[in-house]
């Protein structure tokens, strides 16, 4: 998504007339989202007579967001505000990777492998992970989930890789 | 009156079946667990457990989900008092005096008063729902599309006024949410809107998916920033003497009463809810106290009032959902999701067509509160031990649970990816000091608002003044405008900031 990359001491990047970089960047990003939505809904039908078309409400909200984003950005220029917060890469990266790995492996490989792999990947999100206990907990959790979701709750989840089951 | 009793009798009849009692207990226990554990909130849990309720009968599903919601209010107070970590946003102010009491060796009375206050508030709120339900349903029948639209505008403005931080940013978040809700098929023409030919987007962004992203995943990522090893300054000494003294009871009784009243009112208002209720109750107690300096040093009123208020508000927020079909906050929005899954459209019709559902749930709330007070105090030791589970082991587990939860709603891997994307978006929002709660509310109300706006304008033949010429609608709009002006006035803004500063000082 619109996740800004981590930049170190940010003060130097922003021109001096921006007094609240946090709001300024936030407002600009909202405006970008609004413009994107305007573009994405541009092919939809507008008002005909006094009844709404499919595109009326989306464009209405997009224009509103554009104005509000501009307002927030303006506040960032006029009012003394917070600096950009520091972004960390480790947590977001590994948690995202874990989510993606789960999404891509759950269908072909089944719950057992998928859950265990994602558990280990997301555990890399912090330097404090101790691997021995993490692996033990991971195994317990995988067993627990395999019993809870498909059996106790009756959800249609495949446990093992597709090529083994067939 | 006779109606009220027959309704409640029907409700207790439904709630007292063994299966519903069990589900109520499970809900309350899971809620307490979630409330105790910091780093996983009510919204993410309810979203996570939605698929679990697929196989249950509708009444049972709602009873369990409701149990999670008010159970979390109890659990949150336990950790606030014992370890100075609010498990839930609703218990933030409880840490101020609760933890001080614990330090003075009075953890027992603090816990007991919190539980008693919550129970009392829960009882009052249950009766209130039962009493207000029927008349409000009648009022709802007088509502046309214009009134519904105006009411939702009022609700969103409430959410803005009650949200923390900049009013402008909160409105921007609401509109962002409204915009997100537009993704998917248009209700009337069926045209695909902003879906980019992705089949999974044809039905729109799932509310649970977005909620899990911005509240579940984003929260985890943010917690990791601070380092997984959270400061857990446990109260080491054993908790002795649960019973509060007579003086404690006398001191806290009026505070419980005031907290309950304040919480009930704030819960009913659309956009309100348990978080703001606890803040408001604490501030109010401090304002009217003879000696405000006692607060923050272990004043028992500082525990009693916010804990009663958050529990009352958690329950009365069911009123707008059940009577008008409008979810006043994000958790209630998920309840709408749960109802829709079972083919129930929330609103005035539910009360009339499926009374056993509504009254069964209301009765279960009272039973659930009773269970909580009985199970919670003896279980305090277990809950505290749970806190010793290090976050480095907890967060990967939460990631997996969330992922499985989202996947099983539609059996769609794309939903999991979307939730991940919204997790990053939520992280970015937090970094820029945007509140995610108004975004969710906007997203929930978006389709309802569009539909009613369209209908109102169609009926009035394109005349936009319809919102101001119909008396009920005009009244609602005027209230909304008045509130917005109030929120922007410098004097009130300062007060509003004060309320939230309490938690940080």
DSSP secondary structure of B375-421: HHHHHHHHHHHHTTS-HHHHHHHHHHHHHHHHHHHHT-HHHHHHHHH
User: Is residue A79 within 8 angstroms of chain B, CB to CB?
Assistant: no
Going by C-beta distance under 8 Å and a sequence separation of 6 or more, which residues neighbour residue B344? B58, B350, B354, B357
Q: Which residues of B touch A23 (CB under 8 A)?
A: 166, 169, 432-433
B166 and B448 Cβ atoms separated by less than 8 Å: no
B318 and B298 Cβ atoms separated by less than 8 Å: no
- pLDDT at residue B381 greater than cutoff 80: no
B118 and B147 Cβ atoms separated by less than 8 Å: no
What pLDDT is stored for residue B499 in this prediction?
A: 57
Q: Which residue has the higher pLDDT, B383 or A99?
A: A99
Find, in chain A, the residue whose alpha carbon is nearest to that of B222. Answer: A91
Rounded Cα distance between B80 and A113, Å, is 38
Rounded Cα distance between B244 and B239, Å, is 13
Q: Which residues of A touch B217 (CB under 8 A)?
A: 95, 99
| Among the partner residues B179, B227, B427, nearest to A58 by beta-carbon distance | B179
What pLDDT is stored for residue A6 in this prediction?
A: 43
**Residue A95 to residue B229, Cβ atoms within 8 A:** no
**Residue B207 burial by Cβ neighbours in a 10 Å radius (0-12, 13-18, 19+):** buried
- pLDDT at residue B465 greater than cutoff 60: yes
What pLDDT is stored for residue A102 in this prediction?
A: 92
DSSP assignment of A84-108, as one string? PPPP-SHHHHHHHHHHHHHHHHHHH
- pLDDT at residue A3 greater than cutoff 70: no
Rounded Cα distance between A136 and A115, Å, is 14
Average pLDDT over every residue of B131-146? 80
Label residue B258 by pLDDT band (50, 70, 90).
very high
Domain parsing of chain B, residue ranges? 2-504
Rounded Cα distance between B137 and B154, Å, is 19
| Among the partner residues A45, A57, A141, nearest to B450 by beta-carbon distance | A57
DSSP for residue A44:
S
Find, in chain A, the residue whose alpha carbon is nearest to that of B197. Answer: A40
Mean model confidence pLDDT for chain A:
83
Beta strand B192-193 pairing with B184-185: antiparallel
Least confident stretch, A96-110, B233-247, B452-466: B233-247
What pLDDT is stored for residue A8 in this prediction?
A: 43
Mean model confidence pLDDT for chain B:
81
Rg of chain B (C-alpha set): 22
- pLDDT at residue B503 greater than cutoff 50: no
For chain B, positions 429-468, list CB contacts with chain A under 8 A: 431-434, 446, 450, 453-454, 457-458, 461-463
Rounded Cα distance between A125 and B207, Å, is 27
Q: Which residue has the higher pLDDT, A30 or A52?
A: A30
What pLDDT is stored for residue B137 in this prediction?
A: 77
**Residue A138 to residue B396, Cβ atoms within 8 A:** yes
pTM for this structure? 0.82
User: Is residue B224 within 8 angstroms of chain A, CB to CB?
Assistant: yes
Rounded Cα distance between B456 and B460, Å, is 6
What pLDDT is stored for residue B406 in this prediction?
A: 84
Number of CB atoms found within 10 A of residue B493's CB: 14
- pLDDT at residue B234 greater than cutoff 70: no
Average pLDDT over every residue of B404-413? 83
Average pLDDT over every residue of B11-15? 85
User: Is residue B404 within 8 angstroms of chain A, CB to CB?
Assistant: yes
What pLDDT is stored for residue A4 in this prediction?
A: 45
Each residue's pLDDT tens digit, B432-448? 888 887 888 888 788 88
- pLDDT at residue B231 greater than cutoff 50: no
Q: Which residue has the higher pLDDT, B315 or B501?
A: B315
- Closest to A66 in 3D by CA, of A24, A93, A33: A33
Q: How far is A25 from chain B (nearest CA, A)?
A: 8
Each residue's pLDDT tens digit, B20-69? 899 999 888 888 888 777 667 777 788 777 777 777 888 888 888 888 88
Least confident stretch, A21-35, A95-109, B55-69: B55-69
Find, in chain A, the residue whose alpha carbon is nearest to that of B52. Answer: A153
Q: Which residues of B touch A64 (CB under 8 A)?
A: 175, 178
- pLDDT at residue B272 greater than cutoff 70: no
**In the numeric block, which tokens belong to residue B318?**
């069911």
Provide the CA B125 distance to its chain's centre, in angstroms. 14
């Amino acid at each position: 998504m619109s996740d800004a990359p981590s930049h170190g001491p940010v003060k130097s990047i922003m021109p001096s007339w921006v007094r609240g970089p946090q709001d300024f960047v936030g407002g600009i990003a909202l405006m970008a989202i609004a413009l994107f939505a305007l573009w994405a809904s541009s092919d939809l039908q507008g008002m005909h007579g006094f009844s709404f078309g499919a595109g009326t409400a989306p464009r209405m909200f997009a224009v509103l967001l554009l104005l509000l984003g501009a307002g927030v950005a303006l506040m960032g220029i006029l009012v003394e505000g917070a600096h950009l917060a520091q972004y960390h890469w480790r947590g977001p990266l590994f948690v995202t990777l874990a989510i993606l790995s789960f999404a891509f492996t759950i269908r072909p490989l089944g719950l057992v492998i998928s859950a265990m792999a994602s558990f280990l990947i997301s555990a890399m999100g912090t330097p404090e992970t101790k691997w021995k206990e993490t692996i033990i907990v991971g195994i317990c959790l995988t067993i627990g989930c395999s019993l809870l979701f498909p059996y106790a709750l009756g959800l249609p989840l495949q446990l093992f890789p597709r090529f083994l089951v067939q | 009156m006779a109606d009220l009793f027959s309704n409640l009798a029907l409700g207790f009849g439904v709630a007292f079946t063994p299966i519903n009692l069990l589900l109520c207990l499970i809900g309350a226990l899971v809620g307490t667990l979630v409330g105790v554990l910091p780093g996983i909130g009510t919204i993410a849990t309810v979203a996570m457990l939605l698929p679990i309720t697929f196989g249950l009968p509708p009444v049972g599903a709602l009873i369990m989900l409701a149990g999670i919601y008010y159970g979390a209010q109890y659990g949150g107070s336990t950790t606030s008092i014992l370890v100075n970590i609010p498990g839930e946003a609703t218990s933030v102010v409880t840490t101020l005096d609760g933890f001080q009491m614990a330090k003075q060796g009075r953890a027992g009375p603090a816990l007991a008063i919190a539980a008693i206050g919550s129970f009392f508030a829960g009882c009052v709120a249950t009766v209130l729902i039962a009493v207000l339900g029927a008349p409000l349903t009648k009022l709802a029948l007088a509502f046309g599309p214009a009134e519904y639209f105006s009411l939702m505008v009022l609700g969103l403005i409430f959410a803005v006024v009650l949200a923390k931080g900049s009013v402008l940013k909160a409105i921007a978040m609401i509109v962002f949410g409204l915009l997100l809700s537009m993704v998917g098929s248009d209700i009337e023409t069926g045209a695909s809107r902003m879906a980019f030919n992705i089949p999974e987007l044809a039905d729109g962004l799932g509310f649970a998916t977005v909620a899990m992203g911005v509240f579940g995943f984003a929260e985890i990522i943010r917690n990791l920033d601070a380092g997984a090893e959270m400061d857990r300054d446990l109260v080491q000494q054993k908790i002795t003497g649960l019973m509060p003294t007579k003086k404690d009871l006398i001191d806290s009784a009026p505070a419980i009463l005031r907290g309950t009243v304040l919480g009930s009112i704030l819960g009913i208002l659309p956009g309100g809810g348990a978080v703001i209720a606890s803040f408001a109750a604490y501030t109010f107690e401090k304002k009217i106290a003879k000696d405000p300096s006692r607060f923050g040093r272990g004043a028992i009123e500082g525990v009693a009032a916010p804990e009663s208020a958050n529990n009352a508000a958690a329950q009365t927020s069911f009123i707008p959902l059940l009577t008008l079909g409008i979810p006043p906050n994000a958790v209630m929005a998920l309840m709408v999701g749960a109802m829709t899954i079972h083919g129930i459209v929330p609103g005035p019709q539910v009360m009339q067509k499926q009374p056993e559902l509504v009254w069964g749930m209301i009765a279960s709330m009272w039973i659930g509160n009773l269970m909580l007070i009985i199970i919670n105090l003896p279980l305090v030791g277990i809950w505290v031990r749970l806190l010793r589970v290090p976050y480095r082991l907890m967060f990967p587990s939460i990631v997996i649970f969330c992922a499985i939860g989202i996947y099983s709603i539609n059996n769609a891997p794309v939903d999991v990816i979307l939730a991940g994307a919204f997790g990053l978006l939520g992280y970015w929002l937090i970094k820029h000091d945007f509140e995610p709660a108004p975004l969710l509310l906007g997203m929930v109300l978006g389709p309802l608002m569009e539909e009613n706006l369209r209908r109102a304008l169609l009926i009035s033949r394109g005349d936009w003044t319809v919102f101001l010429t119909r008396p009920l609608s005009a009244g609602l709009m005027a209230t909304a405008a008045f509130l917005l002006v109030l929120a922007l006035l410098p004097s009130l803004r300062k007060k509003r900031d004060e309320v939230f500063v309490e938690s940080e000082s």
